[in-house]
Amino acid sequence: MKSDLLLITPPFTQLNTPYPATAYIKGFLNTKGISATQADLGIEVILALFSKKGLSDLFLQTQQTRYEFLSPNVQRIIAL
């Protein structure tokens, strides 16, 4: 089924609970005969980033990055 609109919840909008705005808007649009689809990029990013692979990739990236351009204080924090 083709949708007239795509409603997107951006990442990091509300992490502790689903953000209801797009669901309410979608419901209202349905009552007006306007088809809509919604996507929650927040949950997509969280699931990708905080998965086993996401965390492994993140830590690998920090190990492969050179930090000489950072201040000594920032380098100490990263070393922790």
The share of the chain scoring above pLDDT 70, in percent, equals 99
Tell me what pLDDT residue 1 has. 56
pLDDT per position as a tens digit, 56-71: 998 898 888 777 788 8
Tell me what pLDDT residue 27 has. 93
Sign of the CA dihedral running 57, 12, 19, 17 = positive
**Residue 76 gets which letter from DSSP?**
H
Query: Residue 40, Cβ neighbours under 10 Å: how many?
Result: 18
| Closest C-alpha to 13, from 37, 51, 39, 36 | 39
Question: Mean of the per-residue pLDDT values for the chain?
Answer: 86
Rg over alpha carbons for the chain, rounded to the nearest Å, is 20
Location of structure tokens 């949950």: 43
Whole-model pTM over 0.85: no
